[in-house]
Amino acid sequence: MSEHKIHIEFPGRILLVGFGSIGQGVLPLILRHIGIPAERITIVTAQDKGRSEAESFGIRFIEERLTRENYRRVLAPLLGRGDFLINVSVEVSSLALIKLCWEKGAMYLDTCIEPWPGGYTDPTVAAGRRTNYALREEALALRQGNDRAPTAVLTHGANPGLVSHFVKQALLNIAGDTGIDAGNPTSRADWGELARRLGVKVIHVAERDSQASAVPKQPGEFVNTWSIDGFVSEGSQPSEMGWGTHERNFPRDGKRHETGSLSAIYLMQPGAGTRVRTWTPLAGHFHGFCITHGEAISIADYLTVREGSQAVYRPTVHYAYHPSDCAVMSVHELAGRNYVQQERQRILMDEIVSGIDELGVLLAGHKKNAYWYGSQLSIEEARRLAPFNNATSLQVTAAVLSGVIWAMENPNRGIVEPEEMDYRRNLEICMPYLGPVVGHYTDWTPLHERGRLFPEDVDTGDPWQFKNVRVMW
């Protein structure tokens, strides 16, 4: 397939809300793969960054920070029936934008469910209400009476988003390699039953970003390979995970939810202060941050098998993220500042000199122990494939593109999560931009070399207990 193939001709307008690293990176992909003239695309963003790039394509650029008070005035004239709003902003309410889109008859996609400012960190709001679980439940509540509303795709970037399609492909790969007839799973029940038959206990979204800059991080500076405001916001939320039915050691600082799907729990500490053990093929075993992400909840919920009202199977699902080394230093400094964000920000792009973003899913507990499936995209290949991207952003922007195209092809599906989309179609669109996409089995477990320091700290009866995965020292 040619990487410049037009996947769909789109007769409406596209409104891009936000134009940071992801907005700038996805724009050339939209122009490359969606048949739409530049004059039917508008960008609304809070900052002037990227104006010259947008205007070089002939695209209208509006610099205005959206608030509760002005978003309708600014956006309503730019939306109508059959149009599409792509939300890659921060601190602009996803729910507010979805409701506006539906009033106008327009489609919608975001990469995470965003609240208005303070929604992630307001100390007057209870921790359980600041979780992605709570935000998801509020968004899913919009489904009532809106089954045929214009399609609104929730949380479709690399992760959440692309990784849910990786999970489905990985389940089929494991089934093929272990002699289990997977059949042709199409429904939530089919996929949950397949995961149960395979014996998958744990799913890590295991990511190691090794992209590096020749310019070191300076004190008072947060350096990252993608949105710094986005990273700090999600890193400041309570750590969350889909909670598996095999777990027998509930965390001392863990909290359960009282309403909704009950598929996830949260910890009384921020994700950027919570570390977990994981593994990827090139990095090997390492410690990652257990930062809350929507996929930890939606994948766990989607794969739950119930008998009546009782959940009889669910895997534990969570993010395990080792960002670039300069971002790790930035997080360490952020924590020392009690999560008051640094004064300066720097997103690494042209100054990256080497490295890859190894992003995939680690499915563990089955007959072959553990299997990682995902993308190993280098900075060199990312630069060859698309302008205005690094390896991290291209994994996100390719998935934004695929989600938008899928929605355009399925325009009246109401609220949709990644697990409910056609994984084959999304992977088909994304694959040309992901570098090597590989699957690897490993005999690694979180008990690897653990007996050397505090052997009493482990649960040797089942290596895949979260107690073993979580880093407590």
pLDDT in tens, 458-471: 777 899 999 999 99
Evaluate whether 462 touches 395 at the Cβ level (below 8 Å): no
Q: What angle do CA 195, 197, 199 make, to 5 degrees?
A: 70
Cα 414 to Cα 426: distance, rounded to the nearest angstrom: 18
Whether the predicted pLDDT of 457 surpasses 70 = no
Evaluate whether 326 touches 167 at the Cβ level (below 8 Å): no
Whether the predicted pLDDT of 3 surpasses 60 = no
451-470 exposure pattern, b = at least 16 Cβ within 10 A, e = fewer: eeeeeeeeeeebbbbbbbbb
What is the Cβ-side half-sphere exposure of residue 427, based on CA atoms within 13 angstroms? 16
pLDDT band, very low/low/confident/very high, at 2 (cuts 50, 70, 90)? very low
Cα 174 to Cα 195: distance, rounded to the nearest angstrom: 10
Q: Looking at residues 405-414, what average pLDDT do you find?
A: 98
The pLDDT tens digits of the residues spanning 138-158 come to 999 999 999 999 999 999 999
* pTM score: 0.97
The pLDDT tens digits of the residues spanning 106-142 come to 999 999 999 999 877 787 889 999 999 999 999 999 9
CA separation (Å) from 125 to 128, 237, 256, 273, 471?
8, 12, 17, 20, 28
The pLDDT tens digits of the residues spanning 326-376 come to 999 999 999 999 999 999 999 999 999 999 999 999 999 999 999 999 999
Summary mean pLDDT of the chain? 96
Whether the predicted pLDDT of 167 surpasses 70 = yes
The pLDDT tens digits of the residues spanning 211-236 come to 999 999 999 999 999 999 999 999 99
Whether the predicted pLDDT of 169 surpasses 80 = yes
- Cβ contacts of residue 72 below 8 Å, gap of 6+? 100
Evaluate whether 323 touches 225 at the Cβ level (below 8 Å): yes
What is the per-residue pLDDT for 125?
87
Q: Which residues pair with 346 in a beta bridge?
A: 223
Whether the predicted pLDDT of 452 surpasses 80 = no
Q: What is the largest CA-CA distance in the chain?
A: 65
In one-letter notation, the amino acid at residue 246 is H
Which domains are delineated in the chain? 8-153 (3.40.50.720), 162-390+433-469 (3.30.360.30)
| Other CB atoms within 10 Å distance of the CB of residue 231 | 24
What is the per-residue pLDDT for 473?
75
Rg (CA), the chain: 21
Strands 84-87, 437-442: parallel, antiparallel or unpaired by DSSP?
unpaired
Cα 349 to Cα 391: distance, rounded to the nearest angstrom: 9
3-class DSSP state for residue 36? coil
